[in-house]
Amino acid sequence: MRKTSIAGCALPGLLLGVCFAATAAQPQDSRSATHKPAIDAKTGRLLRPLTLHERQDMAAKVASRQRLVKQPRTVAEAKPTLVQQADGSAAMQVPTELWSHLAAQTDAQGRVQVREFEGNDLPVVQQEGSTHE
């Protein structure tokens, strides 16, 4: 009786060990094959300007993620999300009109300029290239 209970526990443990070893043996790259860095980590400058296709692809990914999140836009819409915690503190979702936004743009010298905007005052995006061509 004792031999079957030890074997019954050892066999599943052995199988799990083999599965974990096989999974751990596969190298995992932290970056995907399609990842293309646009900013140099050492200097903080753009390595190259993003193409129109890359910008549109990034914008589409952000838009698809934002569709899943139901964030209140005004304080009135955020009030129903107010929750009283057990310790007496309160929590609620912050409406988008109270968010601050950051915008980064490359200046003529190649430096990245970062500006902050409050609430719903979004920056005007300037397109690259000259309009006089």
**Cα–Cα distance between 78 and 96 in angstroms, integer?**
9
Q: Which helix (H) or strand (E) holds 9?
A: helix 2-25
Q: Where does 26-115 have alpha helices with state H?
A: 52-68, 75-78
Using DSSP's 3-state secondary structure scheme, residue 66 falls into helix
Token pair of 41, please? Answer: 């980590």
Q: What is the pLDDT of residue 79?
A: 94
Model confidence at 117, pLDDT cuts 50, 70, 90, reads confident
Residue 44: pLDDT above 60?
Answer: yes
pLDDT digits (tens, 9 = 90+) for 62-71: 888 877 778 8
**Cα–Cα distance between 17 and 36 in angstroms, integer?**
36
Contacts of 81 (CB under 8 A, 6+ apart): 72, 92, 93
Which is nearest to 73 in space by CA: 119, 36, 104? 119
Which is nearest to 125 in space by CA: 62, 59, 74, 53? 59
Instruction: Report DSSP state, residue 130.
Output: -
Average pLDDT, integer, range 101-129:
76
Model confidence at 14, pLDDT cuts 50, 70, 90, reads low
